[in-house]
Chain A
Amino acid sequence: MFATYLRRELSNRKKQSIIIAIGMALAIALVILVNGVSAAVKDAETTALSSVNGVGTDITISKTAKPGSGNQRFAFGSGDQSSASDGSTKLSQSTLAAAMGTATYSSSALKKVKAVDGVSAATATLSLRNSTFSGQIAQGSGTSGGGTTGQSGAGGGAPSGASGTGGSGPSSFNVDSFSVAGITPGTTKVGPMSSTELSSGRYLKASDDGTYVTVLDASYAKSESLKVGSTLTMGGKKFTVVGIVKSTSSDSTTASNTYIPLDTAQKLADLDGKVSNIYVSAASAGDVATLKTALEKVLPSVTVNTQADLASSISGSLSTVSTLVANLGTWLSLLVLAAAFLIAVLFTISGVGRRTKEFGTLKAIGWSNGRIVRQVTGESLVNGLIGGAIGTVVGIAAIVIVNLISPTLSTDGATAGAAGGAGAPGGGGGAPGAAQAASSAATAISLHIPFTGGIVLIAVGLAVLGGLIAGAFGGWRAARLRPAEAFRSVA
């Protein structure tokens, strides 16, 4: 009887059923789409961050740099210059120093981090910048005496050169700058290496400690025409390329141009016992927030960031979409959902009002309040489920359309731990220093909405919720109906 009565009522009140179902369908489709876009944006943020932090990294620990720190200075002594036959002076110097905006702290922090409960793995890195100043100063330029002092900024651009005019003749300078990451050899599960794969050669291994070997980013290697076996000068030392890695994320580059053993990096940068970043993998994804708090207690002077914290550092259209989804999309879907629920509630209550005589009669012949409430709620629930089914189909169709269009979002500028900016003019001739940021610069990421069973669960859940809410109100109205009053009001 329940099912027969329900089916007949719904088919007999088609207009009302259709309106309720359409309202629910629109709301559920919107929620599915917003939820899907939100997941896609989160994926995109993870992609953007994983290129910097590595796939398995849940938390990064860094220290906020003091303003102006990290500027590289060139101090030329007699060993860095030679006289040419035309009387001009040739200068050349390679320095390895902490990247601009990077602060270092004691590597003993790594030991403390590893001792914290909930830490699955951790590794420390030292972000450096290698800058090579080379040039020629014409006779008469002020290069004698105490030497020439210039300054180069560590920035986000590609290595560039510039010429300037000094003294009586033309002078030319070239500043070549690239990023260097000191990493713990043999660590690929957490940290920058975790989001890379080998193109050729090998990763750094434990026995590379203290040696002058390097692994290069594939893009950088290509641009500099370097391959396994080539040599590269960093901090005045020649390094042998033992491997080339490429990003496993959608980013075209990895976190750094070059990777060298951590202790070698510390020694060459004169930063013995110092690190700039610690990458932490949590034992449980659900405990990241707790772990963050524990790490902040152990290391009060550093900044502990989770992936969620770092996501806020992403800018560009990805950030815009993320904000849009988080604000407008969520509120809009909640608003439409509330409106749909309200429509369902009002129609159900009004339907009960129209059926006063019917329910009064059923009560008169002995139907209990519970049975009538179940009947009303059942009708609302089925209405909601029909809306949920239509909404799911519409929502999935919208997801398919978005995925077919595959809009591209960009992440502009710095992401986690990245330092950027144009360099300050050099000393004699004013060579604008520029360097590629440790993290990726403008990165294009295609938005792909993942389709999961969770989406269907959300739709079914909302449909059931909407149906139950409307049914509860309608049932409450029907339950309050006293048969004698029902007949009196109908009369």
Chain B
Amino acid sequence: MTDTLAMPSAPEEQSIGDAYVLRGVTKTYTQKGRTVQALRGIDLEIPRGQLVAVQGPTGGGKSTLLQMLGALDRPTSGSVQMGRNDLSTANDKELAKIRGVEIGFVFQGFNLIPTLSAAENVETAFATNELPRAERRRRSAEALASVGLQDRADHLPAELSGGQQQRVAIARALVKEPTVLLADEPTGALDEGTRDEIMALLEKVWHERLLTVVIVTHDSAVARRAERRLRIKDGAIKEV
């Protein structure tokens, strides 16, 4: 990895208000009989349309923070406000709905369904069947085209390179037009050249769609491209 990536300019138009407001967030869980205090009283505001990078050592609480932001988990104490939604008190059904409409996820390991084609993987993002099938397919094709994979629509994940798989995952995250994009080590499994491609793609969609983007990364080069950098260590967070 190199540290030569340039800092992007912020989107011309920013939404007003905070995408996230976290107050006194703690998270404790038990793993293999061991109690882990992953977050210790986090206070944080993330304005709408901001590109934020979260860095920190392994086990520092990066992924746990992302899960709180992504409505995947509720804090042990404190509150997580996402727009008008209080994620700390919402029930499972409400959290699933928020995830299905408001949040797009990009994972380090791509997390594509191995038996589905690229287009079908993108289509899984439509968590409900409210849209007609033809419309879902049209949007999926458009999303794939926007990441430059229109000619790989029928390929299975195993038939695609790592970079292509991550592009499919980004298309899946964006196809439902979320307000927030959360990426957990999105370039962690990619080589340097592909990393730049993926980051360029994320920056492009951030610019074009006025998204709030939170990227968890080990890579300082990736982190430096963000508007704002946060460091989390032993469950505590600070601005860099």
Contacts and interface: CB of A to CB of B under 8 A. Distances in A.
A196 to B, nearest CB: 67
Contacts of B176: 366
Of the listed residues A1, A8, A369, A484, the one surrounded by the most CB atoms of chain B closer than 10 A to its CB is A484
Given A1-B124, A4-B120, A367 B115 contact: no
A12 B115 CA distance: 7
| Range for the number of chain A residues in contact with chain B | 20 to 34
Interface string B163-185: 00000000011001000000000
Nearest to B133: A1
A371 interface: yes
Contacts of B109: 357
A309 interface: no
Nearest to B182: A364
Interface string A32-73: 000000000000000000000000000000000000000000
Interface of A: 1, 4-5, 8-9, 11-12, 357-358, 361-369, 371, 482-484, 487-488, 491
Contacts of A371: 127
A487 B100 contact: no
B219 interface: no
Given A5-B120, A367-B127, A484-B67, 20 more contacts: A1-B120, A8-B120, A9-B115, A12-B114, A12-B115, A357-B109, A361-B107, A365-B100, A365-B104, A365-B105, A365-B125, A366-B128, A366-B176, A368-B93, A368-B128, A369-B92, A483-B67, A484-B73, A487-B67, A491-B63
B73 A367 contact: no
A5 B113 contact: yes
Given A367-B127, A484-B73, A361 B120 contact: no
B67 A357 contact: no
Interface of A (DSSP majority class): helix
A358 B172 CA distance: 14
Which 5 pairs of residues, A with B, have the shortest CB-CB distance? A366-B100, A366-B127, A484-B73, A8-B115, A361-B111
B160 interface: no
Contact of A363 (B96, B104, B116): B96
A362 B124 contact: yes
Of the listed residues B31, B70, B97, B111, the one surrounded by the most CB atoms of chain A closer than 10 A to its CB is B111
Nearest to B68: A484
Interface of B (DSSP majority class): mixed
Contacts of A11: 115
Interface of B: 29, 31, 63-64, 67, 70, 72-73, 92-93, 96-97, 99-101, 103-105, 107, 109, 111, 113-116, 120, 123-129, 136, 172-173, 176
Contacts, number: 87
Of the listed residues A364, A367, A491, the one surrounded by the most CB atoms of chain B closer than 10 A to its CB is A364
Contacts of B125: 365-366
Given A367-B100, A368-B93, A483 B127 contact: no
A4 B116 contact: yes
Contacts of B116: 4-5, 8
B72 A365 contact: no
A484 B65 CA distance: 11
A477 to B, nearest CB: 16
B111 A366 contact: no
A491 B66 CA distance: 15
A484 B124 CA distance: 19
Nearest to B169: A361
Of the listed residues A4, A8, A361, A362, the one surrounded by the most CB atoms of chain B closer than 10 A to its CB is A361
Contacts of A367: 96, 100, 124, 127
Contact of B72 (A4, A12, A358, A483): A483
